[in-house]
Amino acid sequence: MEWFGRSNKNYDFDMFSVSHFVIMTILFLGAILIFLYRNKLKDEKWRGIEIGIAVSLIAIELTYHIWMAVNGSWDVSHAFPLELCSISLILTVILLLTRKKLIYEILLFTALLGATQAMFTPLLTYDFPHFRFFHFFYTHLMEIWVPLFFTWAKGYRPTIWSVLKLFVFLNILMPIIMLINKLTGGNYMFLSHKPDGASLLDVLGPYPFYILSMEGLLITLSLIVWLIFREKSPKKLVESDRDLSIP
């Protein structure tokens, strides 16, 4: 069962490899299809699929923790779901099960800003067809597609207050994660130190000032996301539906 083992000897992942490009193609095709078929996806018959996706995300995440435990890599310093993408995964499941607008407002930003970056530059060592490859990309794809589905098919839209809610959410979460980092020796959300390799954080200043820079960058990018996905005027909305809808 090499596909479920710890070694990546036969599954060494390379960024921008064929498998990576295939996944990125699937990401864009999925997003395009959600947009084009948004009117058909409004039907309540899709509710069962929403629940099914939520259950599948819970199942694959639990299997991931089993994989870490079986292979001796589970540790409190890195296994808690406290990274931005792990938090987005939890929010994705909650949104699918509850359809709460508040969850959507936070997930839209954390997913589009966090999960998309992870898709383009994945911190991954296991290639297709290893379990970890499927876990990583399946969860991140759903983190992106689900808020897009709720935006385009269900009519959810962020407001300027959504950006404020994201800011409050993250600043309530941040001191909790910093305390957990101190207790476990972890570096969740890079709040203890920068990653070992080269990253965007290298241009945001030294510790702890890059944390403030990250917040400023996050708010700036969130405002851009809000501008893109905010509610359109009725006239523009009608023209858009007329031009782009599939009968």
The CA-atom distances, in angstroms, between 130 and each of 18, 42, 74, 125 are 15, 35, 18, 10
The model's pLDDT over 114-160, given as tens digits with 9 standing for 90+, comes to 899 889 988 899 999 999 999 999 999 999 999 999 999 999 999 99
Residue with tokens 């992942």: 13
Per DSSP, 12 falls in state: B
Residues 6+ apart with CB under 8 A from 177: 82, 188, 189, 191
Which domain range does residue 152 map to? 2-244
Q: Which of 99, 115, 94 is nearest to 149 (CA)?
A: 99
DSSP result, 174-206? HHHHHHHHHHHT--GGG-SS--SS--GGGGS-S
Q: Which of 78, 203, 74 is nearest to 194 (CA)?
A: 203
What distance in Å separates the CA atoms of residue 70 and residue 49, rounded to the nearest whole number? 31
Residue 33: its pLDDT value, please?
97
Structural domain count, the chain: 1
Start-to-end C-alpha separation, the chain: 47
Q: Are 115 and 85 in contact (CB under 8 A)?
A: yes
What distance in Å separates the CA atoms of residue 177 and residue 190, rounded to the nearest whole number? 10
Written as one letter, the residue type at 224 is I
**Beta-carbon count within 10 A of 195 CB:** 12
The mean per-residue pLDDT over the stretch 34-40 comes to: 96
Residue 129: its pLDDT value, please?
93
Residue 235: its pLDDT value, please?
53
The model's pLDDT over 175-230, given as tens digits with 9 standing for 90+, comes to 999 999 999 999 998 898 877 665 666 777 888 788 888 888 888 999 999 999 99
Which has more pLDDT, 202 or 38? 38
pLDDT band at 247 (very low <50, low <70, confident <90, very high): very low
Q: pLDDT at residue 55 above 50?
A: yes
What distance in Å separates the CA atoms of residue 124 and residue 23, rounded to the nearest whole number? 13
The model's pLDDT over 71-86, given as tens digits with 9 standing for 90+, comes to 999 999 999 999 999 9
Q: pLDDT at residue 244 above 60?
A: no
Residue 210: its pLDDT value, please?
84
The model's pLDDT over 8-33, given as tens digits with 9 standing for 90+, comes to 888 999 999 999 999 999 999 999 99
